[in-house]
Amino acid sequence: MNKLQVLSCVVAEGDTIRWVGCMTQLVWIGITNVKESDEMHLCDSIQKLQLLHYLFLMASDEEEILQTNALCSSPPLLRVVILVGRLENVPLWFHSLCSLTHLYLHWSKLEENLVPHIEALPNLGYLTFVNAYVGKQLYFCRDFLKLKKLELYNLPLLTEITIENGVMPNLHDLHVESCMSLKTLPLGLEFLTNLQKLTLETVPKKIILPIRKGAVDRPKVQHIPEILYFYEESSMRFYERLS
């Protein structure tokens, strides 16, 4: 067992989390049913997995706090982090994720703005938020130099997304879904000159009107080869290509 490299899914119960720390050759691990009380043993075990590339942690339910602040720094080779559970604050070890390429946060419901904690990660290419933030604004003001895909799902209180000029210069794919409080489309789309695909799904219809052909903001999205809009009416789902 000490030479095992992949442990795709293990349920956190009994001494399970503690013996995971003995499997120092692991490169891939998934742990479900994690509770707040598991923090010390969980972080101690992760700290020992210095070859780890992939980490999946899922709380016991949607309201359980996924507590990982006892982790001083992340394993140096960690490339994929998937956290499913409530986060009281942005994990302190996020700043050390120098090898990270994929970050997926689900159920986090963070009140704290995550963006400043991850914007400088040098290899981050894919970023997904699913019900991960309960703030009103997402402001991307610097870096994200290698980000290729950004997905924002189910952020019910979000009213504004702003992307400054020079940020995310390599973004190819932007997906915004179930963000019904948005007042406008993401601000700064005109700066994303490499954007190949923009998907808008279940967003307010009023924010779509300005980018239709001939509308006032159409020039800001004219460079995007594929713009897809999905919406529902009378319990039926519709699709429209806006490009």
Write down the pLDDT at residue 3.
81
pLDDT tens-place values along the chain, 243 residues long: 678 899 999 999 988 999 999 999 999 999 999 999 999 999 999 999 999 999 999 999 999 999 999 998 999 999 999 999 999 999 999 999 999 999 999 999 999 999 999 999 999 999 999 999 999 999 999 999 999 999 999 999 999 999 999 999 999 999 999 999 999 999 999 999 999 999 999 999 999 999 999 999 999 999 999 999 999 988 899 999 999
Find out whether 67 and 40 touch, Cβ atoms under 8 Å: no
Residue with tokens 């999205």: 221
SS3 call for 142: coil
Contacts of residue 136, Cβ cutoff 8 Å, sequence gap at least 6: 157, 158, 159, 160, 181
Sheet holding 197-201, edge to edge: 6-11, 28-34, 54-59, 80-84, 102-106, 126-130, 149-153, 173-177, 197-201, 226-233, 236-241
Q: Where are the domains of the chain?
A: 6-241
Find out whether 104 and 77 touch, Cβ atoms under 8 Å: no
Q: What is the dihedral of CA 189, 191, 193, 198, to 10 degrees?
A: -10
In CATH, the architecture of 6-241 is Alpha-Beta Horseshoe (3.80)
